[in-house]
Amino acid sequence: MAEETSLRVYGGVEGDERQAERRMQLIEAGLDILGSDSGDASLTVRGVCKQAGLATRYFYESFAGRDALAIAVYDHVIEEMATTTLAAVTAAPAEARAKIRAGLENIARTIAADPRRGRLLFSVALTNSLLLHRRVHSSRLFAGLLGDQAKAFYGISEETDIEPTTQFIVGGLSQTFTAWLDGTLELDQRRLVDRCTEIFLAISELRPAPSGRSH
């Protein structure tokens, strides 16, 4: 409440900068932990501070609690993924297969370069209901992003229910990317993206309800 008055220079660095760097160190450490296969149960205050090389004291300087850090980490990863994927899809030729492939390729490349991000987005066991909601929301976002032609066909709304087709695609992609990160799937990135693109397309081209309106 009355903290903006102090903040001296220390070690030649401004107070705001030191705080911001500590915050970033905590987010990085949080990503290390959330991006491991232990799930978010291992995200402890002491643990993340040790990983960040900071004193416990500084945790509450930047975050109100465990959940606040988890959300910050998740948002940090999602935001970057959304930005780059949107750019890749936009830059791709105006054709369903090309756009889907471009988006999937961006995701595959990103999580291959930093598996922590992939595990956080797709495979980490989240017990935190806030994080689960974020994942649902961002899944919806990506499904819309990648399947914008499906959106045009079927009229998927971002606010109302998701079609079973979209749910299926999101779940299928998550599972496939997770297995790929695990090493369970012995595919190179190129073939993974090819394969997922074809499956995505095949599902998209199904009529939403063969015998009439779906509800």
Partner DNA sequence: CATATCTGAAAACATCTGTTTTCAGATATG
Partner DNA sequence: CATATCTGAAAACAGATGTTTTCAGATATG
Shortest separation between residue 10's beta carbon and DNA, angstroms:
4
Q: Residue 48 or 156: which CB sits closer to DNA?
A: 48
Q: Do 116 and 35 meet the contact criterion of CB atoms below 8 Å apart?
A: yes
d(CA 58, CA 37): 26
Shortest separation between residue 59's beta carbon and DNA, angstroms:
7
Shortest separation between residue 214's beta carbon and a copy of itself, angstroms:
6
The pattern of x and - marking residues 65 through 84 that bind DNA according to CB under 7 A reads xx------------------
- Interacting span for a copy of itself (CB under 8 A) from 27-35, 103-111, 144-152, 172-180: 172-180
Shortest separation between residue 26's beta carbon and a copy of itself, angstroms:
22
Cα→Cα distances 77→20, 115, 136, 202, Å: 17, 12, 15, 29
Q: Does 43 help bind a copy of itself (rule: CB under 8 A)?
A: no
Q: Which does 78 bind (CB under 5 to 8 A by kind): DNA, a copy of itself, none?
A: none
Q: Any bridge partners for residue 10, and if so which?
A: 13
Q: Does 194 help bind a copy of itself (rule: CB under 8 A)?
A: yes
By CB under 8 A, name the binding residues for a copy of itself.
Answer: 37-41, 125-127, 129, 132, 161-162, 164-165, 167-176, 178-180, 184-188, 191-192, 194-196, 198-199, 202-203, 205-206, 209-211, 214-215
